[in-house]
Structure formats: structure tokens, C-alpha cells
Amino acid sequence: MKTQLTLPQNNISKTLSFICIVMFTLLAFNTSYSQSNSVSSEEATTNERTIKGIVSTDDGPLEGVNVIQKGTRIGVVTNAKGEFTFPAKLKTGDVLVFSYLGFENQSVTIKDDTTFIKMVLTEDLVEMIGALDTAKPYKSKRKKN
């Protein structure tokens, strides 16, 4: 009886140690993977390029749109014609985020052949309402005698 009880426990610890080994192995693989990744990004520097574009809405070009590279603070604002030239060179896989108050945020992932982005922003269709709070005490309407 006793041995029967201890056996599954041994099995569990065996399974766990196996999982641990697998996890460590995965971790180890991960490091080497990221290394090879950085090598390829160095190669990709030659592929870095200047991205230009134009942002508009249904009403025409939109000035003042924030265009930022996702995960960074690098960005630019569109001019009166809705045009922008991104200040940093970008590579394939980088993401640009377009935002403007009252419009939905849009993201664009830079592809191998991206050099010019045509972006149309859509409005955030939120219904505008508003009630104010007040500190005025409630007063019952009373019939005048």
C-alpha cells in the first residue's frame, strides 16, 4: 500500500524535473535566437529607409496628426497638407502609430517595399453627452399658498 502511494509522487517529481529541463533548454535556445536576430538586424541596416506619407479624413488632409514609432518617443506631426516625413530611418517590421484627438488610432507595420504611407483616419463615433454635478441642495417644488 505504502509503495503504491509513493510511486505516483516519484512520477510527479520526475515529470516536473523533465518540465524544468525543457524550460531551461527553451530559455537557452531563446538567447541564441535573439543573438542571431541581432545579427540579421545589423544586416538590415542597409535596408533602413526614410518613410513619407499623407494623412487624411473623409473631409480631406488632416494637419497635426501625431505619427510615432511604436515603443519609442520618436515622432512627427503632419503639416497643413497632411504630409509627413518620418525623422528617423525605419526598417521592415517597425510600426508607426497615427493618432489625433477624436479619431481612432491606426497602426501601420513597415513592409519590405514600404516607402510611402497613405493613411485615412476614421472618427471615434462616440456620442457626446454631459451632465454636470452640482452642490446645490435639492429643493422640492411646492405649491404657492
Partner 1 sequence: MKYIWFISLLSITSLSHAQISDFDEVDFRKADSTALANHGEDLTNLPELSYKLTSNLNTDVERFRSIYRWVCNNIANDYGLYLKNKHKRQRFINDSTRLNTWNNSFRKQLFKKLLKDKRTICTGYAYLVKKLAQFSNIECEIVQGYGRVSTTDIEKLDLPNHSWNAVKLNNKWYLCDPTWASGIPDPETNRFTFQYNDGFFLAEPELFAVNHFPVEDQWWLFDNDVPTFETFLSSPIIYGNAYKNLVLHIAPDRMHHKIKKNDSIIFNYKLKNDIEVNDVQLLIDSGFNTRKIKPISLNIENKFLTLKHLFKSTGFYDVHLYIEDDLISTYTIEVKR
Q: Which amino acid is at 75?
A: G
Q: Name the residue nearer to partner 1 (CB basis): 2 or 136.
A: 136
Q: Which residues contact 24 (CB under 8 A, 6 or more apart)?
A: none
Question: Which grid cell sits at 92?
Answer: 521592415
Q: Does 66 bind partner 1 (CB under 8 A)?
A: yes
- 124 is written with which cell numbers? 471615434
Residue type, 47: N
For residues 103 and 57, give the distance between their C-alpha atoms in angstroms, rounded to a whole number. Answer: 9
Nearer to partner 1, 4 or 137 (CB): 137
Residue whose CB is less far from partner 1, 2 or 139: 139
Residue 82 in grid coordinates: 497632411
Instruction: Report CA-CA distances (Å) from 107 to 99, 103, 134.
Output: 9, 13, 41
Which of these segments, 30-38, 85-93, 110-118, 135-143, binds partner 1 (CB under 8 A)?
135-143
Answer for the pair 78, 142: CB distance below 8 angstroms, yes or no: no
Q: How many residues bind partner 1 (CB under 8 A)?
A: 35
Site string for partner 1, 2-21 (x = CB under 8 A): ----------xx--xx--x-
Closest separation in Å from C-beta 132 to partner 1: 6
**Is 99 within 8 Å of 105 (Cβ atoms)?**
yes
By CB under 8 A, name the one of 48, 61, 68, 114 that touches partner 1. Answer: 68
Comparing CB distances to partner 1, the nearer of 64 and 93 is 64
Interacting residue ranges for partner 1, rule: CB under 8 A: 12-13, 16-17, 20, 64, 66, 68, 73, 75, 77, 97, 99, 101-102, 105, 123-140, 142
